[in-house]
Amino acid sequence: DVVMTQSPLTLPVTLGQPASISCRSSQSLVYTDGNTYLSWFQQRPGQSPRRLIYKVSNRDSGVPDRFSGSGSGTDFTLKISRVEAEDLGVYYCMQGTHWPYAFGQGTKLEIK
Amino acid sequence: QGHLVESGGGVVQPGRSLRLSCAASGFTFSIYLMHWVRQPPGKGLEWVAAISYDGSFTYYADSVKGRFTISRDNSKNTLYVQMNSLRPDDTAVYYCARDVAGDSTTWGQGTLVAVSA
């Protein structure tokens, strides 16, 4: 099975400053159709998960453009250009290329 | 965008069974891959199971294989998961979700399952 590893697990940030989360998979996430099914989710306290990014770099509807995704193969990154207070919560990467699907452990974004 | 509402959660004793339902509305349910994802209290997300648009293919996490069965009724726009031989470590909020890796996803609010004597 594919294992997803995120780092760091806790990310202290200063409001207005950039932030970056890394996600690595134990095998390539390139599917036979040429797509790479790597997604990023945000979960605010007490809320359901909300997907931000799909297929590495595509923003979901309504997601602010300060969020961006990049990467290829086994290494992926979520970047927030300027952290706002509403961005605090836990972020998860997820692979949807190989069965069974798998989430990373989560990265908690908190105020420094 | 669509809407998903889970139901059927509650407190159940170890070894017993429970069936969760997820009612879909606002989108064409019958064309989408559907999933169950769970989250134990204070812990991370765990993908549980998925079913193809027509029910012909099902996929499971190793942790639930042989105990959980995912199914769907496209005539009722409803997704199910039958959970047998429940264990304390199955305690979690269970979310249903549409096409978690595809071009358009929607998640429900979740239903809590607590396995306790």
Q: Which residue of A has its CA nearest to B98?
A: A51
Among B92, B84, B80, residue whose Cα is nearest residue B34: B80
Q: Which residue of A has its CA nearest to B41?
A: A46
Min Cα separation A106/chain B (Å) = 6
Q: When comparing pLDDT for A112 and A75, which is higher?
A: A75
CA torsion A87-B25-B23-B104 (nearest 10°) is -40
State how far the Cα of A63 lies from the Cα of A84, in Å rounded to an integer.
Answer: 13
The predicted model gives A11-39 an average pLDDT of 97
With beta carbons less than 8 A apart as the criterion, state whether B47 and B34 touch: no
Q: Which residue has the tokens 């199914």?
A: B71
Selected for mutation to probe chain A from B63, B105, B112 (highest A CB count within 10 Å) is B105
Min Cα separation B48/chain A (Å) = 8
Whether the per-residue pLDDT at A111 is higher than 90: the answer is no
CB proximity B61 to A under 8 Å: yes
Q: Give the total residue count for chain A.
A: 112
Whether the per-residue pLDDT at B43 is higher than 90: the answer is yes
pLDDT digits (tens, 9 = 90+) for B58-73: 999 999 999 999 999 9
